[in-house]
């Protein structure tokens, strides 16, 4: 299957700023792509718990059309040329994010708890709003 990734990179400092603008037409799904680095003292497991809590927050607030997935980056070891999962870099994809970073209910205790999990385990390196093609099931 040929997959073409049409990316509209809007490297603005805030998703809220993007949400307040008229977005261009997207013939697929808007997705927020985040690049995170696991920080010293943090862990992949802790980061994945944050992803699970993040999606759970949306579901508990009635949002059903969005998806959040995490993808571990593959790294090729320079000396051994063995390919393995990075213990430091993770990408997350938030498809159809309600409110584009500022959904109704943001900032409650459960929101703050999942944000704390992310912050305890990672540093955000980059954040992009993209137009992804519709993925076929």
Residue 8 has pLDDT above 70, yes or no: no
- Please give the structure tokens belonging to residue 111: 């929101």
Domains and CATH numbers, the chain: 29-132 (3.30.70)
**How many other C-beta atoms can be found within 10 angstroms of the C-beta atom of residue 118?**
21
**Whether the Cβ atoms of residue 29 and residue 134 lie closer than 8 Å to each other:** yes
- Please give the structure tokens belonging to residue 64: 């059903």
Task: Return the bridge partners of 37, or none.
Answer: 89, 123
Q: What is the pLDDT of residues 99-134, one digit of tens each?
A: 776 787 888 999 999 999 999 999 999 999 999 998
Residue 98 has pLDDT above 50, yes or no: yes
Q: What is the pLDDT of residues 33-62, one digit of tens each?
A: 999 999 999 999 999 999 999 999 999 999
DSSP letters for 59-80: HHTT--S-EEEEEEEEEE-TTT
- What distance in Å separates the CA atoms of residue 88 and residue 42, rounded to the nearest whole number? 9
């Amino acid at each position: 299957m040929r997959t073409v990734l049409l990316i509209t990179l809007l490297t603005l400092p805030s998703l809220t700023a993007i949400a307040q603008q008229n977005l261009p037409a997207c013939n697929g799904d808007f997705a927020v792509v985040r690049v995170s680095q696991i920080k010293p003292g943090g862990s992949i497991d802790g980061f994945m718990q944050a992803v699970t809590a993040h999606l759970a927050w949306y579901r508990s607030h009635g949002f059903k059309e969005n998806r959040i997935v995490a993808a571990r980056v593959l790294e090729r070891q320079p000396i051994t040329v063995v390919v393995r999962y990075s213990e430091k870099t993770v990408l997350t994809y938030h498809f159809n994010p309600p409110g584009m970073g500022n959904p109704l209910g943001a900032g409650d205790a459960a929101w703050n708890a999942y944000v704390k999990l992310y912050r305890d385990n990672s540093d955000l390196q980059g954040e992009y709003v993209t137009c992804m093609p519709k993925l076929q099931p």
